[in-house]
Structure 1
């Protein structure tokens, strides 16, 4: 399975509202609940109406379109990284999954996944 490295630095945020979020940005993941308005975006795209933010995330995506009937794809990656003390922030979209981890763990995570059979692509 191929994992595509993402060049951007990411931020995980809570925003006051989505009025200043650039929905046209290359990466913009929003999640709205009864408790919060969340945003994950490239650090360079963080809007000014942030309530809280956590910078310093890097990530990759699972290449290709994952059929909804597939089981355990994200779990397999999460287990390997958890066994090596690497925490993740996972985001699922219609097509695939994105996996973020803190910048200081990024290269270690890629190295471990590469050794366990995942193909890391630029």
Structure 2
């Protein structure tokens, strides 16, 4: 399976409204529940009005479009990272899954996944 590095730093933050989110940005995820509004975006695109923010994330995506009938795509990746004491923040889209790790663990994460047989692309 092929993993593609995302070439930018990411921020995970909590907002009180969507008003200041740049909806024209090329990369963001918005999650709203009855308890919160969360945003994952490029660090330089983080709105100034965050309630809380966690900078220093890097990410990669599973390449290709994953059919909904596929089972166990994300689980082995997260298991390998957990075995190596690397925490994650995962986000799924209609097409694929994204895995974020803290910047200080990024190269180690890619190395252990590569050693486990995953192909890592720029």
For this structure pair, what is the TM-score category when the shorter chain's length is used for normalisation? over 0.9
User: Aligned equivalents of 1:68 and 1:46: distance in 2?
Assistant: 31
Is residue 111 of structure 2 the alignment partner of residue 111 of structure 1? yes
Residue number in structure 2 paired with 1:9: 9
Tell me the matched-pair count: 122
User: Aligned equivalents of 1:71 and 1:61: distance in 2?
Assistant: 17
User: Aligned equivalents of 1:20 and 1:85: distance in 2?
Assistant: 35
User: Aligned equivalents of 2:84 and 2:100: distance in 1?
Assistant: 15
**1:26 shift after superposition:** 1.3
Residue number in structure 2 paired with 1:23: 23
Residue number in structure 1 paired with 2:71: 71
User: Aligned equivalents of 1:28 and 1:18: distance in 2?
Assistant: 12
Q: TM-score, normalised by structure 2?
A: 0.99
**1:19 shift after superposition:** 0.6
**1:3 shift after superposition:** 0.2
In structure 1, runs of 5+ residues without a counterpart are: none
User: Aligned equivalents of 1:3 and 1:23: distance in 2?
Assistant: 26
SS at match of 1:7: coil
User: Aligned equivalents of 1:27 and 1:86: distance in 2?
Assistant: 24
**1:44 shift after superposition:** 0.3
Note the 1:26-105 alignment, pairs <5 A.
26-105=26-105
Superposition misfits of 4+ residues, deviation over 2 angstroms: none
**1:60 shift after superposition:** 0.2
Q: CA deviation digits over 1:97-122, x for unaligned, max 9?
A: 00000000000000000010000000
Q: TM-score, normalised by structure 1?
A: 0.99
